[in-house]
């Protein structure tokens, strides 16, 4: 069987100092991609010239674009890069994307292609800060991140206990980072491509695919190393967050985190919505519990995709409004999440 065409898409803005390491890592893959698309977005530092000097065992397509200031964000650049990569890969192909400051291990392409071959439509890997550069980041930031990650994993364990996803079993992670994404061209097209956002396009792409019931795998063994620089390329991105937290701890944790009791309720509603979508009438009290008019719930459930039903109901129901978690509350919420998990385990054992 012929190998699946696999194109790597990399957006870059003034990455002359890091693009060689990025491209060299892709060139050294044990299962090399078919080609690489490097989209140089408004570069003024010679990124393109540096990239052309890297010896690649496959075709390197360098696209230089001059985007208007209003659309020159990383999201637009990634959308354009992945569009071009999809055209090169063809309908049966695969698009992988990473960041220009990322260094992928030699098995990155292979692991992603294996996960797609196993049935996933999209594979999300993890972005790990370079250990050398991480030393320049304050210890309190590492401690805060460890607490957030620990709590996020507990909330994910609650979700898995109540509403498991056969396509994404634990162990898994909760990231959808543009530093490591692989997606079939077919799924990308069905989702409408990368959402046209200035930033946050990676999470938005995962959300768009979830709406059409794509199988999304968050593989904990797929990782790339990214820079720990405090002067980033995307306004509002990871570098801005780290620099801000170096000076003062944020009041609230990541917006995806919520109180443990809310996470349990959300997981149970997700389970019930899935059941009602598959078998209308199986959850007679669902509309009242969601504070929705029965006709509204019926309309929202009337969709070919379970993911669309859940996303729209989650948005429509006042019960589903997210409450943020303060950093000061994390230890208490972690303890509460552990208690809830223990209770769920006891109920499952009965």
Contact between 242 and 137 under an 8 Å Cβ cutoff? The reply is: yes
Contact between 5 and 90 under an 8 Å Cβ cutoff? The reply is: yes
CA dist., res. 130 & res. 119, Å (int)? 31
* H or E segment to which residue 330 belongs: helix 330-349
The pair of three-digit structure tokens given for residue 292, joined into one six-digit string = 């929705």
CA dist., res. 269 & res. 310, Å (int)? 9
Contacts of 139 (CB under 8 A, 6+ apart): none
What is the distance of C-alpha 298 from the center of its chain? 30
The Cβ-side half-sphere exposure at 220, using a 13 Å CA radius, reads: 9
**Amino acid 140: pLDDT:** 78
CA dist., res. 305 & res. 211, Å (int)? 7
* Closest by CA position to 229, among listed 328, 342, 63, 101: 101
Angle at 100 between CA 177 and CA 49, to 5 degrees: 160
Structure confidence by residue, pLDDT tens digits, 123-146: 999 999 998 888 878 777 888 899
**Amino acid 236: pLDDT:** 53
249-260 burial code (b ≥16 CB/10 A, e <16): eeeebbeebbbb
**Amino acid 332: pLDDT:** 97
CA dist., res. 149 & res. 153, Å (int)? 6
**Amino acid 2: pLDDT:** 64
**Amino acid 231: pLDDT:** 60
Q: Residue 40: is it exposed, middle or buried by C-beta count within 10 angstroms (0-12/13-18/19+)?
A: buried
* Closest by CA position to 29, among listed 50, 57, 9: 57
* Residue owning tokens 């999470």: 203
Domains detected in the chain: 6-247 (3.90.550.10), 260-322 (no CATH)
Peptide bond into 171 cis (omega under 30): yes
CA dist., res. 97 & res. 108, Å (int)? 11
CA dist., res. 276 & res. 289, Å (int)? 13
**Amino acid 64: pLDDT:** 94
Give me the average pLDDT of each 10-residue run along the chain (350 residues).
89 97 98 97 96 96 90 90 98 98 98 98 96 82 90 98 98 97 98 93 97 98 88 56 57 94 98 98 97 98 98 98 96 98 96
**Amino acid 247: pLDDT:** 53
DSSP 161-181: HHS--TTSPSS------TTSE
Helix axes 139-162, 260-278, angle to 10 degrees: 40
Three-state SS string over 76-126 comes to: HHHHHHHHHHHHHHCCCCEEEECCCCCECCCCHHHHHHHHHHCCCCEEEEE
């Amino acid at each position: 069987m012929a190998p699946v065409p696999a194109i790597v898409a990399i957006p870059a803005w003034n990455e002359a100092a890091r693009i060689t390491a990025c491209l060299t890592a892709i060139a050294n893959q044990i299962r090399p991609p078919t080609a690489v698309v490097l989209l140089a977005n408004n570069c003024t530092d010679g990124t393109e010239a540096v990239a052309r000097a890297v010896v690649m065992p496959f075709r390197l397509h360098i696209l230089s674009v001059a985007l208007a200031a209003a659309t020159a964000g990383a999201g637009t650049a990634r959308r354009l890069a992945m569009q071009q990569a999809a055209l090169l890969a063809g309908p049966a192909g695969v698009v992988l994307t990473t960041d220009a400051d990322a260094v992928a291990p030699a098995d990155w392409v292979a692991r992603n292609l294996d996960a797609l071959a196993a049935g996933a439509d999209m594979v999300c890997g993890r972005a790990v800060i370079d250990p050398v550069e991480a030393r320049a980041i304050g210890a309190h930031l590492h401690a805060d991140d460890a607490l957030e990650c620990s709590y996020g994993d507990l909330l994910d364990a609650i979700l898995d206990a109540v509403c498991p996803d056969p396509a994404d079993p634990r162990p898994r992670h909760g990231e959808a980072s543009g530093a490591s994404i692989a997606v079939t061209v077919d799924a990308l097209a069905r989702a409408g491509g990368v959402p046209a956002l200035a930033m946050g396009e990676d999470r938005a792409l995962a959300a768009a695919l979830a709406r059409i019931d794509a199988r999304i795998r968050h593989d904990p063994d797929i990782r790339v190393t990214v820079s720990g620089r405090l002067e980033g390329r995307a306004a509002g991105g990871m570098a801005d967050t780290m620099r801000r937290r170096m000076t003062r701890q944020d009041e609230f944790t990541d917006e995806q985190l919520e109180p443990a009791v809310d996470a349990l309720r959300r997981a149970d509603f997700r389970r019930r919505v899935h059941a009602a979508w598959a078998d209308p009438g199986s959850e007679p009290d669902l509309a009242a519990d969601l504070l929705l008019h029965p006709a509204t719930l019926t309309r929202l459930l009337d969709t070919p995709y379970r993911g669309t039903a859940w996303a729209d109901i989650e948005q429509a129901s006042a019960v589903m409004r997210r409450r943020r978690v303060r950093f000061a509350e994390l230890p208490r919420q972690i303890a509460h999440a552990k208690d809830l998990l223990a209770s769920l385990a006891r109920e499952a054992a009965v």
